[in-house]
Amino acid sequence: MVSENHKKGLIWGLIAIVLVGLQPIVANSRPKIIDAYLFSTMMNIVQFFIFLPLVMLERRKLKFILKNSSGDDSTTESLLNGWKNNKKLLFLIGLIFTFVPLLLFIGLELAGAINGSIALKSEIIFSILFGYLILKEKITKIQVIFSIVLFFGLFLAVTQGSFHGLEFNLGVLIIIFDVGLYMLGHSFSKKLYDRKELTPNQFVLFRTLIGGTILASTYFIFYPLKNLSLLLDPLNQLYFLLIGFVYGFGLLTWSKTLSYIKMGKTIILISFSTFITAFFATLLLGEIFTIYHFIGILIVIISIVMIIKEKDE
């Protein structure tokens, strides 16, 4: 019998699947005049204002718990103020996440939404790699084997069964590199989570603040001042809000899912978001979803299941 918490986790997970699946669609359907640099900047700014009130509410709750604690509540104190002792590491994480959305949007433009969405699922491989290198977690032979199988599925989908190296999409390579950066940043943040010195909401707030500030302050080094007019176009504003919404609330629903379902099962659940991307990419972007995409996605999902199963054991 499915527990009530499990049902809630599945509901939040389904919402997360849709939001994650829509992210490449919003990115690739934006007006062509919006460059990846500006799009990344505005996404960070919108996400910052989504998470700012959440962090403020979270801090109020932690202060209330600390105030009413009967003894020395070092855990709550650490969650409340632990970030102050990790400013250099947080800046490094923020610097990493400055490039993550920029490379992602460039990669998606070149790869297409479907191929890009499949490439994003390589994050599980970087998760176990950086877990081994940074967090000293073990890697098993089964995980290595299915990491290779996952890349086989990705290669099958991107080359449409030809397995010709020259046909491997440059955008996919950029996204795979970007996923590596993304998971490197998360590996550093996990250390802070484990030490109870950072909350997920604080993490998103700091990374968007740092990333958004760097991108906004350097934008006009590479682009003309007249691009300021892009901020005044209502259609552009809509896409700035949309990309911030699907990413920001995608993170929130991911966190809510994790509060009810284990990490491994959540990752498996989210892997099905590629089918959402494929559906809307075919419907709205004119991309063609082939049998090679379908088989490749299935291979990728099966590989993720096996890697997670081994990790949990």
Q: For residue 167, what pLDDT is reported?
A: 60
Average pLDDT across the chain, whole number? 89
**What Cα–Cα distance (Å) separates residue 222 from each residue in 41, 217, 227?**
13, 11, 11
| pLDDT band (50, 70, 90) for residue 219 | very high
Q: For residue 1, what pLDDT is reported?
A: 47
- Which residue range forms the structural domain that includes residue 48? 4-312
| pLDDT band (50, 70, 90) for residue 168 | low
The DSSP output letter for 290 is: -
Share of the chain above pLDDT 70, in %: 96
pLDDT in tens, 236-280: 999 999 999 999 998 888 888 877 887 777 788 888 999 999 999
pLDDT in tens, 282-292: 999 999 999 99
pLDDT in tens, 55-71: 999 999 988 888 887 76
Q: Which residue type sits at 111?
A: A
**What Cα–Cα distance (Å) separates residue 7 from each residue in 24, 50, 92, 311?**
27, 26, 38, 24
Distance, CA of 49 to CA of 31 (rounded, Å): 23
pLDDT in tens, 177-201: 999 999 888 888 888 888 888 888 8
> Per the structure block, which two tokens stand in for 227?
């691009």
pLDDT in tens, 106-161: 999 999 999 999 999 998 888 888 888 877 778 888 888 999 999 999 999 988 88
**Position 214 pLDDT exceeds 90:** yes
Sort residue 245 into left (φ over 0), alpha (ψ -120 to 50) or beta.
Answer: alpha
**Position 281 pLDDT exceeds 90:** yes
Counting other chains too, the contacts that 77-80 makes at CB distance below 8 Å and 24 or more residues apart are 78/195, 78/196, 78/197, 79/196, 79/197, 79/198, 79/199
Nearest CA among 177, 216, 213, 176 for reference residue 90: 213
> Per the structure block, which two tokens stand in for 191?
């250390």
Count the helices and strands in the chain (H runs, E runs): 13, 0
Name every residue whose Cβ is closer than 8 Å to that of residue 125 and which is 6 or more positions away in sequence: 147, 150, 151, 307
Total number of domains constituting the chain: 1
| pLDDT band (50, 70, 90) for residue 47 | very high
Neighbours of 231 (CB within 10 A): 12
